[in-house]
Structure 1
Amino acid sequence: MRRALSLALLAVALALPGAGGAQAGELTIAAAADLKFAMDRIVRDFRARHAGDTVQVVYGSSGNLHAQLRAGAPYDLFFSADINYPRELAQAGLAAGEVTPYATGRIVLWSARRDAGRLSLAALADPTLGRIAIANPKHAPYGKRAEEALRASGLWQAIEPRLVYGENIAQTAQFVETGNAEVGIIALSLAVSPPLAARGGYFLIPDTLHAPLEQGFIITRRAAANPLARQFAAYVQEAPARAVLRRYGFVLPGDPAAALNRARSINCGPC
């Protein structure tokens, strides 16, 4: 009877939540929209190592995600297209550690109707080109860099009336893809993604015309005791994840500085 009672108690114990093994982890990541294709692949590969764990990604403009985090949004990691946003969160005590740089991005001209590889920034001054899409400079780092490049090129005043603004860089690319704008200034990481690369080439805007798109991430204070968050943060810095980021045009910490110019257009023209 004692043996039967012991077996019954063991069965009840194994039926309790978390008994007989580690509980499944949960992770919610806030990521800049320029990471859409790269991050989707990285998360898929990470999940293959962590069967049973739940990993979700919310994409948006870095500025909006930053504001949501300050308001208490339940994100465990924040990958920003502008490293200054996670730095501000860390200074405000909303991070569980140091800010980690993960990539440098680039901006390009892209069009679904024209061969953007034959364009330059100077071509945007032609009014027959129609509407031009950029991300909203108020909260989207890629939009800020687009404005900087246009001002440095002396084009801002001429083309500002024809600008349409995306809420983030992914929506900006969508405006161009759907014909709501003839051409756009978007992230290289989106221009080389399979859906957009199949629609035509791009013109790489010289990075001398704008401040660097240095990107960084943090583990948030909410995730300080979440081991899955630290495992994902470590995985992003491993060779397989770094290879994915490079595939989408990002230059990574530790890469040769010359790599920043590996895709530079041969002839910028009167940029």
Structure 2
Amino acid sequence: MSVDGKTQTDVERCSADSDIEEPVLSRDGKSVLFLGCWNKDAPDGGEYAVKAYIDGRIVQLNMNASAGVWIDGSQAVISDSVGTVHLVDFSESPARVSVVKRLESDVRTVDVNPSGRDVVALSARKEGSLGTGKTYAIVISLQSGSEKQVPLPERASAAFWKSDDELVVEAGDQWLTVDTATARTIDRRPRPAESQLSSRAEGHCRLIDSVDAIMVGWCAEAGRVVGWDVEGKASTIVTVSEDGSSAAVSIASDLVADSIN
């Protein structure tokens, strides 16, 4: 992992392997969250925790997190396993945690828009007596906590801000651009097949971010982070390995923006 421009084999090792550890880099690449650490030394046999690497120190937060994103190098938005969205300030000791919104639903991804005013939480909410699940992009004001539900045309697995008003959404075998004001899908393109990158690869690339209108995907079997421009032209941002099927990947969006501009 590269943090502060230095290659490090381990920034912090979880006390026990939970098989779901997920890194989340800040925009400048200088801070990192580790979601899904298992703290085996906690009472009652252990608990999940979040660990943050910031300013050369490790801060632990006892929380079973489902998703997280940095606002800057010290503040992050983290959703927990029961659908509560938190604002965490790691610059304070201990870290200051405040509740932004209690969604009480499964939150799959969170992302903060370029202005830093709103967070989008991709949430599956149950409706009706049969508990039918529908997926929404829930736009939440970080200042007031007010929310707006944007129904998505198809079940989605990830959503990231393309601009302050538009989202890029991974839904099945497609990547969609959705206007949050109207909930209208304004662009639809096939989810990229990894076979376009490597003859050995068979799967599809997974959407992991949107940077300056570039859709960024992690193509695990090909071991590459790839960007697609508005015309669909692909360019490899970095090759991680020949096969990264078991890797968990996060990008520093500001550094990616510098590399593609």
Q: How does the TM-score come out when normalised to structure 1?
A: 0.23
Higher-RCO chain (CA-CA 8 Å, sequence separation at least 6): 1
Structure with bigger gyration radius? 1
- Greater percentage in helix: 1
- Greater percentage in strand: 2
Q: How does the TM-score come out when normalised to structure 2?
A: 0.24
